[in-house]
Amino acid sequence: MKHIARKRFGQHFLTDGAIIEGIVDAINPQAGDPMVEIGPGLAALTQPLVERLGQLNVIELDRDLAVRLREHPHLNVIESDVLRVNFTQLAADLKAPKLRVVGNLPYNISSPILFHLLEHVAVVQDQHFMLQKEVIDRMVATPSSGDYSRLSVMLQWRYDMENVLFVPPESFDPPPRVDSAVVRMVPLAEPPQINVKLMEEMVKTAFSQRRKLLRHTLGRWLEARNFAGQFDVQRRAEEVPVAEYVALVQRL
């Protein structure tokens, strides 16, 4: 019986064989890798992955798809909302020091998933995700560009990232109304030591009014914390490099 894509789950199923092959090559799965796929759907990516891996863990929210996936002898199916999955515990359960995480993420909740995984980055070896291209453009953006944003800063302080593959709408059924791409995210081996919650609050404040100078937003936030150090607030949030935000939160 044909599965009908469900809008509430943001389902768009990958059907282009050449694109699937390109994604698997970018991931480069090796036999025995402890890999987790988010949202396997109709197993377009799942099957070529499991052929190389031997065994694959998949997280699927759609009950009908989870039932189908359980029929596959080499899949460990976790029927759950990915935002409720404790990846640190999952790594422990699999007796794996690090997980490789992949997936065609639902575009409507891609940012919450990325931030959820950031909380478990200590047990992640690498991540390969298909996302809306404009989201990836923001993730990898450089300062003083239109795409540089809160997302850029909050991911770049912890990951090395690159856009590895463009995916057009016609590669899916049903086709989304946007271009897609695949991003590679590798956690930094020696990340800066920061208070992540404070960093989140600071960066959110800085980008809360993008067009205004920082003295109207971050400047007031720093004053409220009696910050006595030097920081140039006569510029906009998008002009400040990631390293400066990191240095500031460390001084706080």
Binding site, annotated residues for S-adenosyl-L-methionine? 12, 14, 39, 60, 81, 104
Neighbours of 11 (CB within 10 A): 21
Cα–Cα–Cα angle for 119, 123, 129, nearest 5°? 75
Neighbours of 19 (CB within 10 A): 22
Cβ 56 vs Cβ 50: under 8 Å: yes
Give me 60's structure tokens. 């699927």
CA 108 to chain centre: 13
CA distance 23 to 5: 22
Neighbours of 252 (CB within 10 A): 15
CA 198 to chain centre: 20
Residues at the binding site are 12, 14, 39, 60, 81, 104
| DSSP 8-state code for residue 209 | T
Give me 151's structure tokens. 């997302």
